[in-house]
């Protein structure tokens, strides 16, 4: 299969299992070992819990992006751990993006690293995720 066909196949698997539209998540990039996603959240008033809610968004988007990057290598995974360093506090942008790269792809675990960035490309957080392999994705080779 060509890379374009593999991307389409992966997207069909993802759309079947995950309601991305409900979460306003957009898949921006799918390549072997790499993924990038974004999420737009309507502007809300900044209150005492706004930063905590924003950081929760960072974690959820990073987790999804890490699993997606592992899927590009043919692995079905579940998160084991995700360590995130928050580099900027305070304001939470309306649009955030997460990128992930596979750094280790073994038979039982996948390790990804990535970052969460804002619309201007400023890094908001960096993360390292360890995922447990639960199976393989049909039709997706380990390398392409």
Show me where the domains of the chain are located: 3-136
Backbone CA torsion sign across 132, 16, 36, 32: positive
CATH number attached to the domain at 3-136: 3.10.129.10
Span 72-124, pLDDT tens digits: 999 999 999 999 999 976 677 889 999 999 999 999 999 999 999 998 999 99
Q: Are 49 and 56 in contact (CB under 8 A)?
A: no
Q: Are 55 and 86 in contact (CB under 8 A)?
A: yes
Q: What is the pTM of this model?
A: 0.87
Higher model confidence: residue 92 or residue 25? 25
């Amino acid at each position: 299969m060509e890379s374009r066909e593999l991307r389409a196949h992966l997207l069909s698997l993802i759309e079947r299992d995950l309601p991305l539209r409900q979460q306003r998540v957009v898949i921006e990039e799918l390549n072997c070992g790499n993924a990038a996603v974004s999420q737009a959240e309507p502007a809300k008033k900044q209150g005492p819990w706004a930063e905590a809610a924003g950081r929760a968004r960072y974690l959820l988007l990073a987790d999804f992006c890490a699993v997606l990057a592992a899927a590009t290598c043919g692995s079905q995974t579940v998160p084991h751990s995700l360590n995130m360093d928050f580099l900027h506090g305070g304001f939470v942008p309306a649009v955030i993006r997460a990128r992930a790269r596979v750094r280790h792809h073994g038979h039982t675990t996948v390790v990804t690293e990535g970052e969460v960035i804002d619309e201007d490309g400023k890094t908001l957080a960096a993360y390292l995720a360890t995922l447990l392999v639960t199976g393989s994705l049909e039709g997706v080779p380990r390398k392409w």
